A and B are shown apart, each in its own frame.
Chain A
Amino acid sequence: METNDFIKNFAAQFDDTDASEITLETRFRELDEWSSLNALAVLNMIGKKYGIILKLEEMKPTNTVQELFDLVQSKL
């Protein structure tokens, strides 16, 4: 699983946040746009692109894109 691809796929789930603003260090829950819809979008994306069905509560402890990446990586 490639980090740049993951960042791109992650950033695609935002409508009002520029993709260039999102890096591995981004604390995504602190983004203005972040809502439960984004959480769902990210979970759906992970399912579709990486075949991992992550539960919302598993995603809860992650705060940065890197942490989320690591979580998905651990399930592959």
Chain B
Amino acid sequence: MMNNPFSLLGKTILVTGASSGIGRAMAIMCSQMDAKLIITGRNKARLAETFSLLEGDENLQICADLTHTNELNSLIEQLPKLDGVVNNAGIAKPLILQLTEEEDIDEIMNINALVPIHLTRLILQQKKLNKGASLVFISSINGNNCAYMGSSIYAASKSALTGFMKTVALELAPRGIRANCINPGMIETNLLKSGNIGEDDLEKDRLKYPLKRYGKPEEVAAAAVFLLSDATQWITGSSLLIDGGYTIQ
């Protein structure tokens, strides 16, 4: 197809949390849409596995724990000019508030909200963004569109991203750079196994979705490709809901 509006040809894109799950699916799909990828994650072996699944031969992998300032700075230094950034890395730690300690709050807020904030800030300060670039933040329906018991800090961190994104969208609009969030519902990744909900209860929960299933990582990846592409040059400050109809009920 001539002039495919969803193509990422000629674009260089950074994806965080690319060792697994949604991040891996995003990196792979972006590479299939002809982008050059810079992928980062904490797990060296799993990051290398993602790297081996990418198309094209100009991609880069940088293993880093972005909660460590020196590693974050080192990543920024190695970055070329970017046309897209997907802040995807995130954790969930199901805990009701009474049982949440300071270190739990620090951990979740750091990875889910502060890292995207610092990364974005540093990329701007080091002038690593091309004109017309696209910033995508993986937020969640949790904290923005609905809430669940046991995820107060996760919800806080995800709605922090939404507020941050809107301001960044305004500040960067003069340069034609846009910022948007993706709000996924429950997605079939390893994150599902991290809490107290077992397979039987997950199965019951899937049926609560109008489309009777959780989302697939590739479906969130496709949304990211859409927002990263030139097709969305007039979309900024928005939150793209990908939840199988869950929040309309």
Contact = CB atoms under 8 A, between A and B. Distances in A.
A54 interface: yes
Interface residues of A, number: 16
B96 A41 contact: yes
Interface stretch (B13-21, B45-53, B197-205, B211-219): B197-205
Contact of B99 (A36, A48, A55): A48
Interface string B126-163: 00000000000000000000000110000000000000
Contacts, number: 39
Interface in A31-51: 36-37, 40-41, 43-45, 47-48
Interface residues of B, number: 14
23 contacts: A36-B149, A37-B149, A40-B96, A41-B99, A43-B196, A44-B99, A44-B150, A44-B196, A45-B99, A47-B196, A48-B95, A53-B195, A53-B196, A54-B196, A55-B196, A55-B197, A55-B201, A56-B197, A56-B198, A57-B199, A57-B200, A57-B201, A58-B198
Interface of B: 94-96, 98-99, 149-150, 195-201
